[in-house]
Amino acid sequence: MAEPLLSVEGVSRRFGGLLAVGGVSMAVREGSITALIGPNGAGKTTMFALISGFLKPSDGIVRFGGADVTGEPAHRLARRGIARTFQIVQPFAGLTVRENIRVGAHLRHPERSAAFAAAEAVAREVGLEGLLDAPADSLTVAGRKRLELAKALATEPKLLLLDEVLAGLNPSEIRDIIPVIRSLRDRGITILMIEHVMQAVMSLAERVYVLAEGRLIAEGTPEGVAADAAVIEAYLGHGAAKRLARSP
């Protein structure tokens, strides 16, 4: 099998006495959608920060496209082709949607008009073309999530890290955005997504990693992981798997 696009080997991160991520190893196959799930506070967002260069690992190695990129700063990883969205969306609040996306587009398009053209193409892809001149801080939650996605996409990444882009959306908004994510994968972007909406994980991901209290407790297909006793216990509490098995 070909080498994974992203591999994380025994990565740990401490915050003082707290081990937020402990000895986690993961591999993301090129062209796949991979999901990272786990209860609140499991260390998922911290894992993204370690992969995207916003935090340095206390221990372990991050490889991207075959190169050891451990500890490289965020902007350089973005140049290599890693883009992330933020769980708490981070728009450039004083700028319009067009100008927001343009910032990302400038990474591959130094020239002003080329960057604006690329930004408009990305806006169409995520369904923001009608709001290009709207100030970013006037958008609804769903609009902000799309903008977060658009900014990251504008950097033309190889690997896209999506941190709960569906959180806070209603079921119809979720139904609208799932095909967008799938089409990104279909045009060659590898996706690693943190997601609590299991319906989305089941329908999109080919492989799932499960974190709990900083440790990797399961990995496998969505169906396999959903049936895993350790996973059920992590979500529902100690003894839950047994109780579920006994109930008719």
Ligand X SMILES: Nc1ncnc2c1ncn2[C@@H]1O[C@H](COP(=O)(O)OP(=O)(O)OP(=O)(O)O)[C@@H](O)[C@H]1O
User: Given the rule CB under 8 A, which residues bind other proteins?
Assistant: 52, 54, 73-76, 78-79, 83-84, 86, 90-95, 99, 102-104, 106-107, 110-112, 115, 151-152, 154-155
Selected from 13, 24, 38, 45, the binder of Mg ion by CB under 5 A is 45
Cross-strand bridge partners of residue 18 = 15
φ and ψ of 52, to 5 deg:
-95, 5
Cβ proximity to Mg ion: between 7 and 87 the closer is 87
Only segment of 81-89, 115-123, 169-177, 224-232 that touches Mg ion (CB under 5 A): 81-89
Site for ligand X in 36-65 (CB under 6 A): 38, 40-46
Task: Give the span between the Cα atoms of 61 and 25, in whole angstroms.
Answer: 9
Task: Give the span between the Cα atoms of 248 and 236, in whole angstroms.
Answer: 18
Task: Give the span between the Cα atoms of 72 and 160, in whole angstroms.
Answer: 17
Selected from 25, 32, 87, 96, the binder of ligand X by CB under 6 A is 87
Only segment of 44-52, 152-160, 170-178, 203-211 that touches Mg ion (CB under 5 A): 44-52
Q: How far is the CB of 98 from other proteins (least distance, A)?
A: 11
Q: How far is the CB of 126 from other proteins (least distance, A)?
A: 15
Other C-beta atoms closer than 10 Å to the C-beta of 150 total 23
Task: Give the span between the Cα atoms of 55 and 13, in whole angstroms.
Answer: 8
- The answer for residues whose C-beta is within 8 angstroms of residue 172's C-beta and 6 or more apart is none
Judged by the rule CB under 6 A, the positions of this chain that interact with ligand X are 15, 18, 20, 38, 40-46, 87
